[in-house]
Amino acid sequence: MEYKNIEVKIEKGIATITINRPKALNALNTETLEELENVLEVLQNDDGVKVIVITGAGEKAFVAGADISEMKDMSVFEAKKFAELGQKVFRKIELVKKPVIAAVNGYALGGGCELALACDIRIASRNAKFGQPEVGLGIIPGFGGTQRLPRIVGVSKAKELIYTGDMIDAEEALRIGLISKVVEQDKLLEEAYGIAKKIMSKGLVAVSLAKEAINKSLEVDIDSGMEYEANAFAMCFGTQDQKEGMAAFLEKRAPKFEGR
Ligand code: HXC
């Protein structure tokens, strides 16, 4: 598929998806969401891709939201379809069996904040701004924000952010646990790739199982979660990586993981 609104680069196991509509501050329209859905499918099935990084084109915005000009005249039915499309694509990010890092390089508002929320790890440049300004447009978050934001920053902060539409800066986002690191803008991708490389040096089947187990912790009761964890833990013992990792430790050498 030819992409018009995103760019994809694959290098040394890391796929970088850049949302690329800088004139609209990388706002997400239907076409962009469909391209994202397609590329996630491709990257999921590409064994050469180990980690995915998502960022925005330009220095101003990660993604400034869903495309307001496209939403403006939507019928109730079209709005539901649009929300469901975004939810489906972002859920794909959450469920893809590879780590996904959001490198937030500027405004992450509305659907842009929701895109970041669906990623496994969020880091941001110092100029980044986060917010769910939807109520200021007479709507609510529709790409998962009402479900993921409270799980990540707690109910009180999520309600404050969503009810007021307030924007917060990167330092505040770090303080409330919305992101895990703030760096200078020109170091942002370097930092994301550094995290990706560190992950890639580990047992990647284990990383993928850890992702699934952690996701479960947000979705199921604690006993079911524990059972899921014990099963995933046990599955690691069917991998070459577990044998290599433990042998290497005991032989006092660095492990050579094969991701199987
Ligand atoms: C469409 C957008 C856009 C958006 C910016 N643009 N955000 N177009 N949808 N979400 C466009 C502007 O119209 C403008 O186009 C150009 O990008 C540059 O933006 P400016 O506003 O001129 O820039 P600036 O003054 O620097 O302000 C930056 C900003 C502001 C604070 C980020 O653009 C802004 O408030 N954007 C909207 C943020 C927002 O409300 N997001 C939530 C959307 S609702 P022109 O053609 O004039 O140059 C949402 C719902 C998700 O996300 C769920 C859906 C189901």
Is 51 within the bounds of a domain? yes
The total domain count for the chain is 2
For a mutational test of ligand 1's pocket, the pick from 68, 73, 117, 167, i.e. the residue with the most ligand atoms closer than 8 A to its C-beta, is: 68
Which residue from 1, 71, 62 is spatially nearest to 30, judged by alpha carbons?
A: 71
Model confidence, pTM: 0.98
Q: What is the domain extent for residue 182?
A: 6-200
Q: What is the largest CA-CA distance in the chain?
A: 66
> Which residues carry out catalysis?
114, 134
Distance between alpha carbon 43 and the CA centroid of its chain, in Å? Answer: 14
Check pocket membership of 82 for ligand 1, CB cut-off 6 A. yes
Best CA proximity match to 209, nearest among 232, 178, 243, 176: 232
For the chain, 260 residues long, give each residue's pLDDT as a single digit of tens. Answer: 789 999 999 999 999 999 999 999 999 999 999 999 999 999 999 999 999 999 999 999 999 999 999 999 999 999 999 999 999 999 999 999 999 999 999 999 999 999 999 999 999 999 999 999 999 999 999 999 999 999 999 999 999 999 999 999 999 999 999 999 999 999 999 999 999 999 999 999 999 999 999 999 999 999 999 999 999 999 999 999 999 999 999 999 999 999 99
Q: Indicate if 106 and 233 belong to the same structural domain.
A: no
Decide: residue 252, CB within 10 A, 0-12 exposed, 13-18 middle, 19+ buried.
exposed
Q: Are residues 166 and 246 in the same domain?
A: no
Q: Quote the pLDDT of residue 2.
A: 86
- Tell me the CA–centroid distance for residue 69 and ligand 1, in Å: 9
Strand order in the sheet with 167-169: 61-63, 107-109, 129-131, 167-169
Whether 23 and 100 map to the same domain: the answer is yes
Is the ipTM, as predicted for this complex, more than 0.95?
Answer: yes
Q: Judge whether 1 lies within some domain.
A: no
Distance from residue 58's CA to the centre of ligand 1 (Å): 14
Query: For residue 53, is it within any domain?
Result: yes
Bridge pairing between strands 107-109 and 129-131: parallel
Q: What is the CATH number of the domain that holds 213?
A: 1.10.12.10
Place of tokens 């995915």: 52
The answer to whether the Cα torsion of 220, 226, 232, 235 is positive or negative is negative
76 domain-assigned = yes
Token pair recorded at residue 256: 């050579």
Domain membership of residue 14 (yes or no) is yes
Per-residue three-class SS string for 66-126:
ECHHHHCCCCHHHHHHHHHHHHHHHHHHHHCCCCEEEEECCEEECHHHHHHHHCCEEEEEC
For atom 41 of ligand 1, the residue with the nearest CA is 65
The predicted pLDDT at position 64 comes to 98
Distances (CA, A) of 95 to 50, 100, 119, 208: 14, 10, 10, 10
Residues 179, 51 share a domain:
yes
CATH number for 81:
3.90.226.10
* Residue 88 covered by a domain: yes
Å from CA of 18 to ligand 1 middle: 18
Assess if residue 260 is contained within a domain.
Answer: no
Predicted pLDDT at 1: 75
Distance (Å) from CA 121 to ligand 1 centroid: 25
Q: Is 117 in the pocket of ligand 1 (CB under 6 A)?
A: no
Placement of tokens 């505040």 in the chain? 172
